[in-house]
Amino acid sequence: MISVWEMDLAILRTIHIGWHSAVLDAFFTVFSFLGLGGVQGVLSFGFLRVPKMQHFTTVCVYAIVISGLPVAQLMKKLIPRDRPSNLAWTTPQEEWLANSFPSGHTSTSFALATMICILRGKDASWLERIGWFSLAILVGISRIYRAVHWPTDVLAGAFAGIFSACLLALIGMHRPEHPIHGTLTRWFQNLNQKSRRI
């Protein structure tokens, strides 16, 4: 049976070396940039210009900060792991050598995607939900492609981001002054009504 380490190496080699091209270099550079928490925070302010979605900005910034700082960065300190950029056969596109686990870019990206889908609630179509999470997945893949994270770093980052957003949602649901409270209350009321019909 293949070990986690062997799986990490195989996937890294496939994406970093097997997919390598000038076009994908540029493509994944863009998505890696979009995975920066600061960039995502600035982009979140775009919701201020969308009618009935102004409150998204505050909650999304909360999700980015929580998933990026106390969650991802704390885990990096607690679980020291060298990055794949240390391997002789990789050509890393960023100068990072340590603190690999988990991927902070992936964590904030999945936190943002999860929170937006929660806030949008039943107004979000499946296509929209797939779109947000596809963007987050591409950010994660970009970190492997650029040889700065292992696949398991990205997987852990995704779980950390989803967990952070869901935790923030649960906290907000019990605080009437929180921007997410009204949205979540309506969301859970709809779920309860549907479960009763079943």
Helix (H, G, I), strand (E, B) or coil at 34: helix
Q: pLDDT at position 192, please? A: 46
pLDDT band with cut points at 50, 70 and 90 for residue 195: very low
Higher pLDDT, 82 or 122: 82
Residue 166 lies in a domain: yes
Write out pLDDT tens, residues 8-38: 999 999 999 999 999 999 999 999 999 999 9
Q: pLDDT at position 186, please? A: 56
Residue 14 lies in a domain: no
Helix (H, G, I), strand (E, B) or coil at 19: coil
Q: pLDDT at position 52, please? A: 76
Q: pLDDT at position 53, please? A: 79
Q: What percent of the chain has pLDDT over 70?
A: 86
Residue 122 lies in a domain: yes
Instruction: Give pTM, 2 decimals.
Output: 0.86
Range of the domain at 149: 26-189
Among the residue ranges 24-33, 64-73, 162-171, 184-193, the one predicted with the least confidence is 184-193
Higher pLDDT, 106 or 57: 106
Higher pLDDT, 175 or 72: 72
Write out pLDDT tens, residues 31-47: 999 999 999 999 998 98
Residue 5 lies in a domain: no
Angle of helix 104-120 relative to helix 126-145, nearest 10 degrees, comes to 180
Higher pLDDT, 157 or 184: 157
Residue 196 lies in a domain: no
Residue 157, H or E segment: helix 151-173
Q: pLDDT at position 191, please? A: 46
Residue 197 lies in a domain: no
Q: Give CA–CA dist 125/129, Å, rounded.
A: 6
Specify the number of domains making up the chain: 1
Average pLDDT, the chain: 87
Residue 21 lies in a domain: no
CB-side exposure of 14: number of CA atoms within 13 Å?
8
Write out pLDDT tens, residues 141-171: 999 999 999 999 999 999 999 999 998 888 7
CATH number at residue 88: 1.20.144.10
Residue 107 lies in a domain: yes
